[in-house]
Structures are given as C-alpha cells and as structure tokens.
Amino acid sequence: MCAQDDKYALSVEKLTSENKMKILVIIPARGGSKRIPRKNVRLMNGRPLIMYSVENALSLKEAFEADVVVSTDDEELSGIAADHGAEIVLRGEELSGDSVTLDPVIFDALMKMEERHGTHYDTVITMQATSPTLSRETLKAAIAYFEKGGYDTVLSVVNKPHLSWTEKDGKIVKNYKERLNSQFLPPNYLETGAFLISKRECVNEKGRIGENVSVYETSPEEAVDIDSYADWIEAEAILKRKRVLFRAVGQRKLGMGHIYRCLSLAYKLIGHEVLFVTDEKSEMGIEKLRSAFFPFEVIKNNSDYEKVLDSWKPDIVVNDILDTDEDTVKLERRYAKRIVNFEDVGPGARGADAVINALYENHPDKPGNVFEGSDYFFIRDEFLEENPKDFSAECRNVMIMFGGADPSDLTGRLFKICQHLHEITPETEFHFITGFAYEKKDLIQDIPESNIFVHNDVKRVSLFMKKADLAVTSQGRTIYELASMGVPAIVLAQNEREAEHVFAGIQNGFINLGVGTRTDDETVIRTMRWLIETPNVRKEMRNIELSHEFRTGQKRVIDIILKEGS
C-alpha cells in the first residue's frame, strides 16, 4: 500500500496532542565503511553525514515523547552525535563486524536504553545515518500513519516500477506478465532505509518486523541511501537544491523576450525546483508557459503574489518584468533570501541582490549591484551548438525577424519592402521568421515567385541564422544571437526603450537605423540594397560580431542567480 498522503501530515498535530506513546529512535552507525571510507563523519554539503539523521530524529521531541540514541563503535562518531544532543550506546566487537545484521544491533541498543531510563518504549524507530535527504515532515507524517493505521511495522519505500528480470533454476526469467510503460506497471516498492517503525513487542535479536506491515512511500528525492560515491553526489546535489521563482511577463506590447529568457534559464537549472509567476494580462506568456510544461501561477496584484510567495517559499526570486518598484522588492525580500532582476532600471533595483542588464550599459542611476554589458548576456543553448557558416560574397539569403510579438508590425513593412527589393535583386531569398504571438501572421504568406518565404513559430531559429547572409531585426536579444552566428544585421528598434540597448551599433557590427516607426521605407531599402551589393562591408561586420565571446555568459548569469563562486 502506498501511504504517502497529505492527510497523514496534517494529522500529526492532532495525534501528538492525544498520544502518550514513548518512542525510541535508534541510529546505527559504524566507524568503518569499505565503499566510502569514514562516510558517516565525512562532510555532506558542509556537515557530517550522520548529523542529518540525528537532527531529524531530535526534531521528533517537539511533537512526541522521544529519546534518540546512536549505536556506534566509533569515538569520533559518538562525539559528533553527543555534541548535538543524541545519546550514545557503544556496541561491542561482536556487533561491529561486516557480517552483522541490524536486528541484534537495534535490540542491543533498545535493551540498554530501557535499562538506562528505567522505562519501556512503545515504538522503536530505526533510522539509517545514510539518508540525509529525508525531511522532518515526512518522518512525522509516517509516524502518524503508523499510529493511525494500528500497524505492527511501517517501512519507508520508494516506488520504482520497472521491467525487471531475475535468475531461476539457472535461467533468466522475467518478473512481469506483460510489457507496459512504467506508469502502467504495478507498484514496485524498494526499501529506502530512511526509517523502519515498529511496535516494541516486534523487536528482538532476530527481527523488527511484525505481521501487520505497511509501507510509507517517500519521493525519490527523499529516498537516497548513501551506499556509493554516485549516491553521495546525488544526495549532495539534492541538498544544494534551490527553489527558484521566475516572475516574468509576456504581452504583445512588451514582447515575449522576458518569458523566453526565463524559460532558457529554467532549462539550465537542472536539479533545482522552478515556479513561474506571471500576471493575468500576459495571455501570450501564459500560453507559452502552458506549452512548456513548467508549473506556473497567474496573479492579479501583489496580494495574490504574496500568497504565492508565502505558500511556495522560494530561496531565490528572479524578476524579468523590466522596471521594478520598491514595494514589490520589499515584499519579495520578506520571503526570499536572494533577488535577481533583469533589465531593471527602476527604483526597486536598489533592493535587489543583483541586477543583470546585458542590454543596458552606463545607466546614470544604476546602483552598485549591477552586472551590465554583453559579458552577461544569457545565450540559448542552440546558439552554442551551431557553428557560423562560411562567409559568402553573394548575398543570397536575407532573414527578417522582429521577435515573438512584433508590436510595431515591422514585419508587415519589411514584407512590402522585400517585394520591391526582389525586382532589384531577383536572386536573393527573403525569409521571414514570425513568432506565435504575431497578430498579423495570416496576412504574411509565402510568395515563391518573389523568393519570399514565411516561417511561423520556428523551434530552432539558429538553423535559419546559419543560412543567412544578412538579417533585418529589432533591437532586443536577437542581436546577440545574430552576433554569435556572425550574421551582419540592420537594426530597427520597436520603441524608445529598446533603442537604449547600446550593443546594436556599428562598433559591434550592426547598422542601426533607430526606432522603426520613425525610419522611412526608402532608407531601409537603400541600406538593405547597399549591404546586399557590398560584400566587403558585410564581411567586416561579421568579423566584428564574431570577435565577441558569448559562451561564458551563461555560466556568469547562472552563478549570479545561485550566488556561486562568491
């Protein structure tokens, strides 16, 4: 039976208010270990391994009448455990050998503790020193489940249904009836060793398990049992795990870059827990988050936001909403240990631990916690996996891309411009990349006779950049991606704020025509034609772009968010 259920966690308080049972928690821990020498005293994420079990066991004193004892043959182990409040039972050589099972060790500690305290325990819990990821809440809920169900014994397990095989009568035979995907296989409970709860009368020299047995299922993250170096690495990664809350917006006016960046960051934070928060106006962002299968919450105001912060309790908040206000950052500070903002030049920036402004540089009001410039651009993995194509003197492929929403409809303008340019440069192909949030995509269709081709909501933009000899784009994050691929580009900003992004200048290999709505078609046509027909200029622009190194930006940004290396 799978026992893990919130109702057992919720019943702990009621149970303990009525319960008079006396609990003895026994943690067996030898000093010797063959696979990982001295593992019980080695530092796991900065603390002796045994301390995780000792502190979990001692936390039971808050809710139960409980004694905690470590059974050991090692002076160093006993010193560490005793220093933190556990009692010690020293076991003799006859109980310290490699071939000795736990049953006589547990019985020995039980008898000595009953004699020491002159009492008789009702419940005996065995907790392994090698289960550092078990939570206190799970342990207390398991005890509540044990008591409420009236079981003789409850064991901690993890459910790992797999197609498995065994050996019988010298032959390899299957352990299943039919081949099914794992989610459709019957439960396959593996003991985790985290805890074994038994009634006192079930414990003797030869066993600790009664007749009425049940199991309490833990999550895989809480089921790690340190038996090898691989287990050690896994457990340490779990203990270092952070809860990261991304607050991002995705609206037609603001575009989708904020959502896309946070998704790219979330994909890199393997091993950490991630939650997205967006506002009810971010309909496009909500749609994208839903399709990305990350958990997310939609809020109306800061009151809703505080409820999310209070219930989820993040370690880190990442704001990607442009300028923040002081009240929002103060609210986040009450719940999160670390706050990191992107592209923030608002008053709330001073309250953040770090502000990453890859697109804004030399802002006059910047606080001292700002990391700015191209060194801090977080480039998506796909641009690190692709290599720029060789330079072509002939400009046969022009790419036009204005982001996921293109609120100024620069795509529509360039669509007409490229029809005109086809008459001047008939060999050139024009490839339009439109985002899923672009409103007028139905009006932008292929015109093969004019070498105009439209690609909607492409999944891997780098493949199109790899073929391009020239690009026309807006002044957001795409300019960095084009630079990484060595694609010369003409830039038209969507609005005044985007025009402040200083990277898109001639010093970095771009021809910047300013805010798109203020640039006439004739200027765009002349500039495109000039670059199509002037390979030497395009080559120099490409060389400047490729002189930048974007690979290390990913690590810098992740390290700032997680506060690594500081």
pLDDT on residue 7: 54
DSSP string covering 452-504: EEEEES-S-HHHHHTT-SEEEE-SSTHHHHHHHHT--EEEEESSTTGGG-TTS
The angle subtended at Cα 264 by Cα 286 and Cα 262, nearest 5°, is 50
pLDDT on residue 30: 86
Question: In Å, what is the CA distance from 131 to each residue of 27, 221, 557?
Answer: 11, 10, 33
Express each pLDDT in 349-385 by its tens digit: 999 999 999 887 766 666 778 998 889 999 988 998 8
Count of Cβ atoms closer than 10 Å to residue 202 Cβ: 19
Express each pLDDT in 484-531 by its tens digit: 999 999 999 998 888 888 899 999 999 999 999 999 999 999 999 999
pLDDT on residue 9: 52
pTM more than 0.85: no
Express each pLDDT in 124-143 by its tens digit: 999 999 999 999 999 999 99
The residues facing 255 across adjacent strands are: 251
Provide the angle, in degrees to the nearest 10, between the axes of the packed helices 257-268 and 551-562: 80
Q: What is the pLDDT along the chain (566 residues), one digit of tens a residue?
A: 444 555 555 455 555 445 568 999 999 998 877 788 889 999 999 999 999 999 999 999 998 999 999 999 989 999 999 999 999 999 888 888 777 889 999 999 999 999 999 999 999 999 999 999 999 999 999 999 999 999 999 999 999 888 888 899 999 998 888 888 877 888 889 999 999 999 999 999 999 999 999 999 999 999 999 999 999 999 999 999 999 999 999 887 777 889 989 999 999 998 899 999 999 999 989 999 999 999 999 999 999 999 999 999 999 999 999 899 999 999 999 999 999 999 898 999 999 999 999 887 766 666 778 998 889 999 988 998 888 989 999 999 999 999 878 889 999 999 999 999 999 999 999 999 998 788 898 899 999 999 999 999 898 999 999 999 999 999 988 999 999 999 999 999 998 888 888 899 999 999 999 999 999 999 999 999 999 999 999 999 999 999 998 889 999 999 999 986 44
Phi, psi of 543 (to 5 degrees): -60, -40
Biggest alpha carbon–alpha carbon distance for the chain:
101
Cβ pair 273, 241 in contact under 8 A:
yes
Cβ pair 279, 423 in contact under 8 A:
no
Contacts made by residues 498-505, CB under 8 angstroms, sequence distance 24+: 498/474, 499/475, 500/359, 500/360, 501/359, 501/360, 501/475, 501/476, 502/359, 502/360, 502/361, 502/362, 503/358, 503/359, 503/361, 503/373, 503/374, 503/479, 504/475, 504/479
3-class SS at 386?
A: coil
Determine the Cα–Cα distance for residues 433 and 467; give it in Å rounded to an integer.
13
pLDDT on residue 418: 97
pLDDT on residue 547: 93
Express each pLDDT in 398-452 by its tens digit: 999 998 788 899 999 999 999 999 999 999 999 999 987 888 988 999 999 999 9
Report which secondary-structure segment, H or E, holds 236.
helix 229-239
Determine the Cα–Cα distance for residues 154 and 125; give it in Å rounded to an integer.
10
Q: Tokens 């736990």 map to which residue?
A: 102
pLDDT on residue 97: 79
Determine the Cα–Cα distance for residues 251 and 257; give it in Å rounded to an integer.
10
* Exposure string over 262-293, b if 16+ CB within 10 A, otherwise e: bbbbbebbeebebbbbbbebbebbbebbeeee
pLDDT on residue 13: 53
Count of Cβ atoms closer than 10 Å to residue 180 Cβ: 12
pLDDT on residue 185: 83
Domains of the chain: 6-238 (3.90.550.10), 241-379 (3.40.50.11190), 386-546 (3.40.50.2000)
Output helix, strand, coil percentages for the chain, rounded to the nearest 5.
Answer: 40, 25, 40
